[in-house]
Structure 1
Amino acid sequence: MQEVELKTKIGEDHSLVQVVRSEIREMDSNGDASTGSAERMKQRVSWIVEIESNMKRYVQVEQRPKIQKVPMTIREIESNKKCFDPMVIAIGPLHHGKPELERMETFKIQFALQYAHQSKKSMKELYDAVEKQAFDARNCYAKGSTDAFDDEKEFAKMMFLDSCFVLQFIYSCVNPAEDDVKMKINDKAFILRDITLLENQLPFEFLKALMKLRFEGGEGEQMIDDFIRLIMEENAKPKGGEKEKEEPVHLLELVRTKFVDVDEITRGSCDSSSNWCSYRSVTELKSVGINFKCSYSRRFSDITFKSGSFLSGYLRLPPITIDDGTKSLLLNLVAWEACPDTPDDFGVSSYVYFMDTLIDRAEDVKELRYNGVILNGLGSDEQAAELFNEIGRNLVSNPQAFGKVKESIYGYYSSRPSLWLAEWVHTHFRSPWALIAFIAAIFVLCLTVAQTVLSALQ
């Protein structure tokens, strides 16, 4: 068959396999088997036949995102490995049954009993109401994640107890005075870390179903919003008129939506943001007259730059508390953004990448700490700098993120006369005493010149 004829047939039939099969039948009917053409043709297209017969496996079908495992490209980074596994409690199927997490199973029952009691319902009433959804919850996890559960009843029991525990733990954090379960402070801190792990998530629709059995109206959702603000250490209530978003797949995704406003992070972006091609550390920016201030919120997307009136600029960054749980939270948010079925805006990843460009050494952290941007609970500025440097490795950033900020800083750098003068001022007047000494020197010089002139006139 000529190539043109083959392309014509493919255009008509829309299937290479159909064309080849018809050609093979034509060869067989013409007795062209002596040369082995038909057999060779069959061997060459056997793999195509196999792909077409399993077409549904390869064609992307739009479906609700799943609860995924941490992508191996992130998990395999040596310095990150301990940030993805739970320390004290397993939530959901991925880490269930690990011996080192067994101690918390008793607390799960205690919290579930407390949730039922405060709901004014029995455990059986709650379980019966959500049992069907517990069975359906398997479909909310990535393929193979729940294979260890052969017994459907055991899976439903696990989902029910874990969901009651998470909701009651959140309630106890928001309303500590009503917490009747005695638990050590360190355990609560570890649980707070563990329930924000990507591999420790429950379907949010299942949590929502349980909340409806206890809370009226939007009280349950408000409780979770208050809990997330505790994580963010944000005291202010969310601004009115916020854009409604789709229901999250799980709690971690909801946490991420509170930390990042995607529209805000790409607002004002333009192609010229590609000029941000070199690293500008805090120390370097300060040397040319750029000062640092806190943003008005703790959202990672709330980063702005404004030129000052006299050889200066102001870069506002969201305040962040760095402690033992910060790296784990940031990495799990980054891991969620790297999953195959999530939006590709990379909001948290872009924030971490931006901070990594600003922070090279302890001196950079010290400057941000001095201006209130960083509250360092790790003990040393070197550790805080290392944290951002480690998370920033192999990170994918949205090329449009903070485009307006980058362009403004680039424009500030492009004004060379102002830049040189700013560097000179920064070099010679780092402290008020240097400025006073300079003024005194000018004053003495003026007196000397005046005295010389008067002497000459006399």
Structure 2
Amino acid sequence: MHTSCGLSREGAGTSCRWLEEQCERLEESWKQLTEKASNASRPKIQRIPQYMAERDEFKRYYEPEIISIGPIHHLRKQQLLQGERYKEAWAAMYLKETNQSAKALYWRIRECIPELLNQLAEFLDIVKEDIPGARELTYLAWMLVVDGCSVLHLLDNTDPYLSDEKLKISMGKLIRVHQDVVILDNQIPFQVLRLLCDGEDKQRLERCLQKFLRVYGVDRILRLRKQKHTVKIIVQGEGDGQQDNDDDDDDPIHLLDCLRRALLDERLLEKVKEYNQDKRASNNVQLVQGLYQMLHLRKYRIGTIRELKAAGIHVKKHSGDSNSFYPCFCNGILELPKLTTDGSTAHVFLNLVAYEMCPDFQNDFEISSFLVLLSSLIDHPEDVRELRLAGIVINQLANDKEVADLFNNMDIIMVPETPWFASIRDQIHSHFESKQAKIRMLTWIGEAYNTYFRSPWTIIALLAATLGLILTFIQTWFALHPKAS
């Protein structure tokens, strides 16, 4: 006998079992996605997003040149073999200075590997490929000891006058080492650095972090809350007279995450997040527009510095001692943070952007949005000059054109517009509406300048043409009004 749908009882039973398996699969997928979403703000250490790493113009910013940290780039390039010798020597120096035993540190890290596996999942997979058998955890723990000790010694002895003596490395190579330290997939968990510092030597990690931040132009005084395996970055004076709330402690993920937090200033970051959430919750239309931007990733443009100046908008450096990374606009004045541009700027920013693009990192694309803003403000070297004269850009590159090219090359960054940056754009556009005629005139003048004054030869040609018109006019005048005899 057949069922009404043409299946035998045996076939119907097989279909039911298959259907039950698919339903269980759906349930398991839902549980995994829910668990992943709950841990979205604690990203794992992973590779650079493929669509960024494969861009030819950015590859050199995502590949270490001297040292590899962790297994992702470990001995993948011949030139990194020299870096292994540096790391081993620096690790030995660190152990000698801190009077610690390599074996004791190994077992300290080895015991904490289960706690670190959530962040080190990709590490372990790579180590299994390189080290067949059951020694992958042993190898991984030893690698973390050597890499962590060498990084701590590097950071603690970064001195432009003593690096040759203490690190036994030339200044040219040291600069490239510090560029390697901020590569996204060249990181180790911050907790490893905490474990490698002696139990009584908490100030060493503070000192290392402060020196690390100063290398990248962030002048911050940090305090670390002294808890087991817990590090909280606090601006000096922030917690004075206040009771610490240990439940809110949130460790940095790695050194690159530490740099991002220091740039953004956690106190203001929380206020901006609250602002973004309130705006999204109060305006469904804006939420739909934000979704549209996420799907289409269209650019949001504010205008160049010269256009702002034509509209009566002045740019200035953040007032007082503020280290805020967030721009603000009030009464026709756009306040921007001070920014030093040098040979490491592209390494830092592009790796911070790659970090914000990681799928398991829940964030509001603060660094990426700021770069989109700068790429809109800077179009020509003249825009950089205006920012430099305002004390906003400290240019340590060869000239203003290099800075303009740097941020114009970053113009490929496509991120949804956050409510904070949208509010600034809307205020500036409202200001623009009353100054359209002046802006149009400046645009014409700028086009004329770029057409006729871009080189000495175009200036000579323009003067020759002008002189020819004047002589032609004089000749025509005397032809129509001949001089009386």
- TM-score normalized with structure 2 length: 0.70
Check 1:239–1:290 CA distance in 2 against 1; reply closer, same or farther (3 A cut): farther
What is the CA deviation profile of residues 144-165 of structure 1, one whole-angstrom value per residue up to 9, with x for unaligned ones? 3443344332222211100001
CA offset digits 1:393-444 (Å, max 9, x no partner)? 1421442133443333233224x2x67579999999xxxxxxxxxxxxxxxx
> Which residue identity is paired with 2:270?
D
Residue 151 of structure 2 corresponds to residue 147 of structure 1: no
| Aligned 1:386-425 pairs, distance under 5 A | 386-414=405-433, 416=434
Deviation at 1:226, TM superposition (A): 3.9
Q: Identify if the C-alpha distance between structure 1 residues 265 and 31 changes in structure 2 by more than 3 Å, giving closer, same or farther.
A: same
Gap runs ≥5 in structure 2? 223-234, 240-244, 291-298, 446-485
SS in 2 for 1:339: coil
Alignment-mate amino acid for residue 75 of structure 1: A
Distance 1:368 1:41 in 2: 74
| 2:270 aligned with 1:263 | yes
What is the match of residue 49 of structure 1?
21
Deviates more, 1:176-185 or 1:166-175: 176-185
Q: 1:202 aligns with which of 172, 183, 188?
A: 188
- Give the match for residue 340 of structure 1: 359
Q: CA deviation at 1:82?
A: 1.7
Check if 1:124 corresponds to 2:100.
no
User: Which of the numbers 179, 190, 203 marks the counterpart of 1:193?
Assistant: 179
Residue number in structure 1 paired with 2:304 = 281
More deviation, 179-188/331-340: 179-188
Q: How does 1:17-96 map to 2 (within 5 A)?
A: 31-32=2-3, 35-36=6-7, 39=11, 46=18, 49-50=21-22, 52-53=24-25, 55-56=27-28, 59-60=32-33, 61=35, 62-63=38-39, 64-96=42-74
Shift of 1:350: 0.9
RMSD, matched Cα: 3.6
Label 1:189 to 1:278 Cα distance change in 2 as closer, same or farther (>3 A): closer
Q: Once structures 1 and 2 are overlaid, which stretch shifts more, 135-144 or 93-102?
A: 135-144
User: 1:350, 1:105 → 2: CA distance?
Assistant: 37
Rounded Cα–Cα distance in structure 1 between residues aligned with 2:178 and 2:4: 71
**1:215 aligned partner:** 201
Identity, % of aligned pairs?
26
Quote the Cα distance in structure 1 between the aligned partners of 2:5 and 2:389.
Answer: 86
Residues 119 and 266 from structure 1, CA distance in 2 versus in 1: closer, same or farther, beyond 3 angstroms? same
| CA distance in 1 between partners of 2:12 and 2:382 (Å) | 69
Determine the C-alpha separation between the residues in 2 that align with 1:347 and 1:126: 37
User: Between Structure 1 and Structure 2, whose CA radius of gyration is higher?
Assistant: 1
Separation (CA, whole Å) in 2 of partners of 1:77 and 1:37:
56
Q: Which amino acid aligns with 1:325?
A: S
Equivalent residue in structure 2 for 1:254, among 232, 249, 258:
258
Maintained 8 Å contact 2:61/2:347: yes
Count of aligned pairs: 391
